[in-house]
Amino acid sequence: MDIDAVRGDITAQNVDAVVNAANQALAGGGGVDGAIHRAAGHRELQEACQKLGGCETGDAKATPGFGLQARWIIHAVGPRWRGGDKGEADLLASCYRRSLEVADELGAKSVAFPAISTGIYGYPSEEAARIAVDTIMSTPTQVEVVKLVAFDEATYRLYEELLSS
């Protein structure tokens, strides 16, 4: 599998599936979640998400991509940072693992991930990036290309550093 760091807009990635850093209600929100809902078409995506009945932290569920280039959106619910001793690392790793499992179920060969939980959920960027890279590299999958899409330069540099070591 090829894993690449990309600096840019996750909604503009030419991949089979885009992972959304979602909330448990799959209701759309700020950051990546809001951007994906706006780019995909908020009403259509919201209707599809409502049919899924929410999603537990650490899990992932898929909808069509609607207005995105991506055929699917995989909604992964990351943990809120609560100091690091409440199982956050396991839940975050589960988001990446479950997203790849859902991608396999869909037949997706390329997937773009945001930095799950590092925005409003407050997960420390360095630890989150390490968990993302380690989990993706150690998860058996049929996915051939993974893009770690960084919205900011600092996150992009973290991904680059981890992938080059």
For residue 147, the model assigns a pLDDT of: 98
For residue 29, the model assigns a pLDDT of: 86
> For the segment 1-49, what is each residue's pLDDT rounded down to a tens digit?
999 999 999 999 999 999 999 999 999 888 999 999 999 999 999 999 9
Tokens encoding 11: 């909604």
Q: How far apart are CA 151 and CA 137, in angstroms?
A: 21
**Three-state DSSP class for residue 150:** strand
Say how many Å lie between the first and final Cα of the chain, rounded.
16
Query: Is it the case that residue 159 has pLDDT exceeding 90?
Result: yes
Third-level CATH fold of 2-164: Leucine Aminopeptidase, subunit E; domain 1 (3.40.220)
For residue 165, the model assigns a pLDDT of: 85
Q: Which residues are the active-site residues?
A: 33
pLDDT confidence bin for 69, thresholds 50/70/90: very high
> For the segment 78-120, what is each residue's pLDDT rounded down to a tens digit?
999 999 999 999 999 999 999 999 999 999 999 999 999 999 9
Q: How far apart are CA 133 and CA 151, in angstroms?
A: 16
